[in-house]
Amino acid sequence: MKCQPESLTLNCGGSLLSLSQPIVMGILNTTPDSFFSDSRATTERTIKERASNIIAEGAGIIDIGACSTRPFAAEVTETEELQRMRQALRYVREELPDAILSVDTFRASVARMSVEEFGAAIVNDVSGGDADADMYATVARLKVAYVCMHMQGTPQTMQLAPTYTHIVGDVITDLSRKVEALRNLGVKDIIIDPGFGFGKTLEQNYMLLKQLDAFHIFGLPLLAGVSRKSMIHKLLNVSTADSLNGTTVVNTLALSKGAHILRVHDVKAACEAIRIISYMHNID
């Protein structure tokens, strides 16, 4: 069992972020329809409060989303996403000028604005570059870290009938092609995300979790984003609001498989899971 991640680093705006111990990426959604209401913040006060709480509870990265990518989410125009993202980034930068910011977007224009105007250090693309042909070249030109996630279909279609020959092998093959394309353009800081919940059935999600350590074949940081997703609350027959305990269990399993980054709604609980498993690993 893999309990300790490799000693990797990310270049975040010229500073090296160590992943010798797993870190937490806290979710801040500026959308009115994200699937977990407690992560939503749409006013100056709530955005600043949410960002401050994410850092105070121990997260190393704030991940800001301005376009919901939950299953069957309504499409948001580029103009609206840009407006939401610009507002959120401005408020967060006023409150936390030195925080490491990630932007959850599949649009190159939003990524470019976020980096050039507000110094975002990471682009978190749920489509892995499939939604915008300009994304890879944009990330390469901006010289920022890039979360390359696997998704089958789009948020509007991904849960209709996800089909694979072999879930783990198919996802690795798809991500391998994308990593090669990114490297050919000179992108150096790539984070791998197998895309839990994005075009996967309940069983397929848990097969990915069971074999998560297979993704270390890339030799790249590995992100696990399972927080309060349907793979947890549907299995346990509880509501999204009541799925924190299940989320902590799944996050701990991901850590045991060598996840470097946990993307979560509940930062404190995730940080506690990291502290416990890291302590256990390091005692004689």
Catalytic one of 183, 263, 268, 275? 263
Least confident segment among 12-16, 129-133, 216-220:
12-16
Least confident segment among 13-17, 108-112, 134-138, 229-233:
13-17
84 is catalytic: no
pTM attached to this predicted model? 0.92
Q: Give the CATH fold of the 9-282 domain.
A: TIM Barrel (3.20.20)
What is the rounded average pLDDT of the residues 197-223?
A: 96
Task: Evaluate if residue 2 carries a pLDDT over 60.
Answer: no
Task: Evaluate if residue 256 carries a pLDDT over 70.
Answer: yes
What is the rounded average pLDDT of the residues 220-230?
A: 96
Catalytic one of 107, 178, 229, 257? 229
Task: Evaluate if residue 32 carries a pLDDT over 80.
Answer: no
CB-based contacts of 248, cutoff 8 Å, min separation 6: 266, 269, 270, 273
Split at pLDDT 50, 70, 90, the class of 3 is: very low
What is the rounded average pLDDT of the residues 137-162?
A: 83
d(CA 173, CA 276): 33
- Residue 284: its pLDDT value, please? 72
263 is catalytic: yes
Q: What is the DSSP string of 46-109?
A: HHHHHHHHHHHTT-SEEEEESS--STTPPP--HHHHHHHHHHHHHHHHHH-TT--EEEE-S-HH
Domain extents for the chain? Answer: 9-282
